[in-house]
Amino acid sequence: MSGNAEARQNALDRVLDAVAPTAEVGEELFAVADALSGSPSLRRALIDAGTAESARRDVVQALFGGRVSGLALSVLSDATGLHWATTGAFVAAIERQGVRAILSQAQRDGQLDSVEDQLFKVGRMVAANGELRAALAERRVDLAPRQQLLAEVLGEHVLPATKTLAGRAVVARRRTFDLTIEGYLKTAAELRNRGIATVEVAKALTDEQASRLQAALSRQVGRDVTVNVVVNPAVLGGVRVSMGDEVIEGTVAGRLSDVRRKLS
């Protein structure tokens, strides 16, 4: 992310974080993002640098005033005062604040750990089910039936925040459902200044093993780390850790692959 893009993102984060955003505000911001997505002319008008900022804010007030809460309106109004490279980036910024509002509510309710864990598992479940993944990605089908399909699959086994965000991920702002869920997990970690590590092991870790691994990774990166464990028999033994673009390969499969490369 460029310095300018990060500055814009941080500016909107501060607007939302100035109060205690609710899940309802998140839903409102999703609705705003959908309205913007459905109107290219409106998107262009709201980020047009050739139009006075006050005029752009007036358009926001005229269209959304009284229809969404004051906080949701403030986020959108402040967003129009920033300089966006593309209309897509503008909509994504509104969407991000909707996600942050729902995660912030979960954090205040003491449910953020559970929501993160459930979202990770939902992402893995969809990734492993080719038929479901294809159905959720089928753009020729309206969004609502695809979201309903996922809601029926999840049933009542997840928290409301998880269900809301999983359903929202069907929109796939980051190209695919899987990548969108990954983005949500990154945002959740950012709320607590945490890193994210995906750990692949041949068999499930005990609670003690997972705790020791989390502590070791946290020491290595200098901040708390959320550890998502994936059981993958293909690793044979050991641990493969992915943190962002960095991969720490300590598996038998990885060592065998390295030997094969050296011998070829």
Write down which residue in 60, 84, 108 finishes a domain: 108
- Tell me: do 129 and 213 sit in the same domain: no
- Tell me: do 104 and 124 sit in the same domain: no
- Tell me: do 74 and 133 sit in the same domain: no
- Tell me: do 22 and 116 sit in the same domain: no
- Tell me: do 139 and 161 sit in the same domain: yes
- Tell me: do 205 and 236 sit in the same domain: yes
CA-based nearest residue to 95, from 31, 191, 42, 143: 31
Q: Which amino acid is at 264?
A: S
The predicted structure's pLDDT at residue 193: 76
Write down which residue in 164, 192, 220 finishes a domain: 192
The predicted structure's pLDDT at residue 259: 44
Write out the chain's pLDDT in tens, 264 residues: 666 778 888 888 888 888 889 999 999 999 999 999 999 999 999 999 899 999 999 999 999 999 999 999 999 999 999 989 899 999 999 999 999 999 999 999 999 999 999 999 999 999 999 999 999 999 999 999 999 999 999 999 899 999 999 999 999 988 899 999 999 999 998 888 766 777 788 888 788 888 887 888 778 777 777 787 878 777 767 777 877 667 776 665 555 465 455 545
What the block records as the tokens of 162 is 């998880």
* Count of structural domains, the chain: 3
Torsion of CA 52, 58, 64, 66, to 10 degrees: 160
- Tell me: do 171 and 204 sit in the same domain: no
DSSP state of 193: T
Write down which residue in 90, 108, 126 finishes a domain: 108
Where is 39: in which H helix or E strand?
none
Residue 220 class from Cβ within 10 Å (0-12 exposed, 13-18 middle, 19+ buried)? middle
The predicted structure's pLDDT at residue 231: 81
The predicted structure's pLDDT at residue 249: 67
- Tell me: do 162 and 92 sit in the same domain: no
What the block records as the tokens of 66 is 């009284």
- Tell me: do 117 and 103 sit in the same domain: no
CA distance 229 to 92: 29
What the block records as the tokens of 13 is 């984060």
- Tell me: do 198 and 187 sit in the same domain: no
Look up the domain containing 261 and give its range.
193-264
The predicted structure's pLDDT at residue 115: 96
DSSP secondary structure string for all residues of 194-251: -EEEEEEESSPPPHHHHHHHHHHHHHHHTS-EEEEEEE-GGG-SEEEEEETTEEEEEE
CA angle (45 as vertex; 47, 187 as ends), nearest 5: 40
Phi/psi of residue 244, nearest 5 degrees: 65, -125
- Tell me: do 96 and 7 sit in the same domain: yes
DSSP secondary structure string for all residues of 40-91: HHHHHHHH-TTS-HHHHHHHHHHHHBTTB-HHHHHHHHHHHTS--S-HHHHH
How many CB atoms within 10 Å of residue 126? 23
- Tell me: do 232 and 253 sit in the same domain: yes
What the block records as the tokens of 86 is 């593309």
CA distance 107 to 119: 14
